[in-house]
Structure 1
Amino acid sequence: MIVVTGATGRLGRTIVEHLLTRLPAEHIGVSVRDPNKAADLEARGVRVRHGDFSDPSSLAHAFENAEQILLVSSNARAQGGDPLAQHRAAIDAACTAGVDRIVYTSQMAASPTSAFPPAVDHAATETMLQQSGLAWTALRHGFYASSALVFLGDSLETGLLETPADGKIAWTTHADLAEGAAIVLTDSGHFDGPTPPLTGAHALDFADLTSVASELLGRSVHRQVVPEGAFAAKLPARGAPSGAVNMLLGLYRASRAGEFAIVDPSLERMLGRPATTIRDLLAHHLQR
């Protein structure tokens, strides 16, 4: 059995949907904080059990009889939590449950010296996996393309995007990465340890993004570079917690350092097709 954690989130849910096209439902389980939100999966034959990284005792039941765990990384840091403690709890529970392999959703910039705080957490988690004694794969995802839509925000209406100086980012969609994860989970010969960067085919900075938006809208969206301090000062008023502010600033610093600029063909080779472009994603967003 393959058990997917966080299966009511965007990435986890899409991974389950792709697994359902490749495996019988009874070979798939999900570990979720609120089983009611996965009732439709249970109705389709997927095993649904309560499992919460913050409640390690719940994970033993959630992981029971699993051969593989798809460990969707925690976003606790953005809310001031400790993602590494949660990842440690999940890895320990997998070991106790006798799981053969963990597949972890890491990131292309994973490094203990990254300027992007989550990438440091990903590197630390990969070290935990290496020390666990289990077989493991770290899916080094390109930066989620949906984040670009969030960063563009109301600039699509106002015509002005204010950000700190940045660099190229290999934007990659959840849908493509989820399909790739399902391929890796159902083919144990795919990758041992960290994968190559799993990215889209193009890397764009925010000036490129506003140029694409301008073409699609038929009117100008201007990108203006602002100092980091001025940018950060506006974020709390928009509801961003302090952890998210530090993460955002780290994103711009890491992109300037080229941490997200690599474009690699590995994901497209796995999928057997071109990756979805940020232009296509933005066009779909604007049509809604």
Structure 2
Amino acid sequence: MIVITGATGALNGATVEHLLKRMPAEQIGVSVRNTAKARHFADRGVRVRKGSYEDPAALRHSFEGAEQVLLVSSNDPHADAVALHRVGIDAAVAAGARRILYTSHQGAGVDSPFHPARDHAATEQCLANSGVAWTALRNGFYAHSLGWLLGDWQQSGTITAPADGPVSWTDRSDAAEAAAAILTGGRAFGGPVTLTARQAVTFDDVAALASKTTGREVERIVLDDEAWIAAKVAAGTPEAMARMTLTTFQAAREGRFAGVGPLLGELLGREPRTVADQLAADIDAA
């Protein structure tokens, strides 16, 4: 059995959908905080059990019989993410899982300016110490994040943000599909594997793509870090949140998100979605 955590969320929920296309539903389990939200899976034969990183006993029960467990990373910015992930790892080991997978991030590193990257690196170390085979899915930075990083460029005609660096913006649904391919494929992936789009681009590149897509010029304006923080706070963003977002740009400047590779496309059997695809989707949604 394969057990997936966070299956009512966008990423791992999509992974379950792809698993259902690849294997019998009775061989899939989900561990979720609210079982009612997973009714659509239960109705199709998926085993649904309550489990969360805050409840080790329930989590172990939800992992019962699992050969593989896919742990989703915590998205609570106020939580001790590494401690929560350690609970998940321990529960998977206690349940007898042969392999633990974890949704990590391409920029994982203990010295990264981007705090979640440090949590991912620490969690990967916990996995390495677990005594069980493990795979860290180092997904590229999710492309839908561009929606809030780029600001109101469609109205203003400008992309106003701090200095950045190349980022291999990656479609979240592609990452979800790749996870299902890894879980059900015969190839053994040990340790961290990087799953990214084919190309890393800067905001200068994004402005050029936006100009081409819309048929009107979109200008890239670089703001000093503190000026950008002040503008965000003035617009109503809490300063702590603005400073956290700034670390994304700081990490990008250091090349933390610049790497690209062919593996995602190989797993999908097609070309991964691009930044141009994301911009077109954002325009359609506007």
- For the aligned pair, the TM-score class normalised by the smaller chain equals over 0.9
Residue 240 of structure 1: CA displacement? Answer: 4.6
Alpha-carbon distance in structure 2 between the residues aligned to 1:179 and 1:221: 33
Q: Does residue 3 of the first structure (1) align with residue 11 of the second (2)?
A: no
Equivalent residues in 2 for 1:77-226, closer than 5 Å: 77=77, 80-195=78-193, 197-226=194-223
The percent of aligned pairs where both chains have the same amino acid is 50
Residue 194 of structure 1: CA displacement? Answer: 1.0
Instruction: Give TM-score scaled by structure 2 length.
Output: 0.94
1:230 corresponding residue in structure 2: 227
SS in 1 for 2:261: coil
Alpha-carbon distance in structure 2 between the residues aligned to 1:221 and 1:261: 23
Instruction: Give the aligned length.
Output: 285
CA offsets per residue over residues 245-270 of structure 1, 9 Å max, x none?
A: 34312111111111111111111122
The alpha-carbon distance between structure 1 residues 15 and 238, as it changes in their structure 2 partners (threshold 3 A), is: farther
2:65 corresponding residue in structure 1: 65
2:30 corresponding residue in structure 1: 30
CA offsets per residue over residues 10-49 of structure 1, 9 Å max, x none?
A: 1011101110110111111111111111111111111111
SS in 2 for 1:138: strand
Q: Does residue 282 of the first structure (1) align with residue 279 of the second (2)?
A: yes
The alpha-carbon distance between structure 1 residues 4 and 237, as it changes in their structure 2 partners (threshold 3 A), is: farther
Gaps of 5+ in 1: none
Residue 106 of structure 1: CA displacement? Answer: 1.0
Contact map agreement 1:4 1:16 (CA 8 A) in 2: yes
Residue 285 of structure 1: CA displacement? Answer: 2.5
Residue 62 of structure 1: CA displacement? Answer: 1.4
SS in 2 for 1:171: coil
Alpha-carbon distance in structure 2 between the residues aligned to 1:62 and 1:243: 36
Alpha-carbon distance in structure 2 between the residues aligned to 1:205 and 1:45: 44
SS in 2 for 1:11: helix
The alpha-carbon distance between structure 1 residues 150 and 93, as it changes in their structure 2 partners (threshold 3 A), is: same
Contact map agreement 1:107 1:122 (CA 8 A) in 2: yes
Q: How large is the Cα RMSD of the aligned pairs?
A: 1.6
The alpha-carbon distance between structure 1 residues 242 and 99, as it changes in their structure 2 partners (threshold 3 A), is: farther
Give the ranges of 4+ consecutive aligned residues of structure 1 lying more than 6 Å apart after TM superposition: none
Q: Give the stretch that moved more between structures: 151-160 or 254-263.
A: 151-160
Gaps of 5+ in 2: none
Contact map agreement 2:102 2:135 (CA 8 A) in 1: yes
